[in-house]
Structure 1
Amino acid sequence: MKAYRFLTADDTSAFCHKVTEALSKGWELYGDPTYAHDATTGVMRCGQAVVKDAEGDYSPEIKLGAL
C-alpha cells in the first residue's frame, strides 16, 4: 500500500521538526512545500505532502502517523 499524509503547521521550526520526524520514519517528500497566509491568525502556514510504502491493505482506520 502507498500511504499519503499532508503535514501542516505554522511556519516555525516546529514544522521543520514535524517533516524531519516523518522523514526519519521512512516517509518521503512528495511534491513541493506550500505556504499560505492565515488571515485569521496573521501567520504563515506551511504544508508538505509525504508518502510511504507500507505493508497491508488500506483501511480508513489506519493511523497514518503510526506507520
Structure 2
Amino acid sequence: MKVYRFLTGPDDASFCHRVTAALNKGWELCGSPSMTFNSQTGQVIAGQAIVKDVAGKDYDPEMKLSEQ
C-alpha cells in the first residue's frame, strides 16, 4: 500500500524538522515543495507532499496516516 500525506506549516525550522522526521521514518518527498504568503498574518506557509510504501497492509480510511 502507498500512503500519502501533505505537510503544511509556517516556513520555519519547525516545518523543516517535521519533514526531516518524516524522511527518517521512511517517507519520501513527492514533488517540489510549495509556498504561499498569508497577507493577514505576514507568514510564508510551506507545504510538502510525502509518500511511503507500507507492506502487508490494506488501505482503510480510518487509519492514521502519520502512524504508518
**TM bracket (short chain):** over 0.9
Larger % of strand: which? 1
Match of 1:21 in 2: 21
Return the letter of the residue paired with 2:32: D
Q: Give distance in 2, aligned partners of 1:14 and 1:35.
A: 15
Task: Give the count of matched residue pairs.
Answer: 67
RMSD between aligned alpha carbons? Answer: 0.7
Shift of 1:42: 1.4
Shift of 1:41: 1.4
Match of 2:34 in 1: 34
DSSP 3-state at the match of 2:30: strand
Q: Which runs of 4+ in 1 moved over 6 A?
A: none
Match of 1:10 in 2: 10
The alignment's TM-score, normalised by the length of structure 1, stands at 0.95
For structure 2, the residue ranges without an aligned partner over 5 or more in a row are none
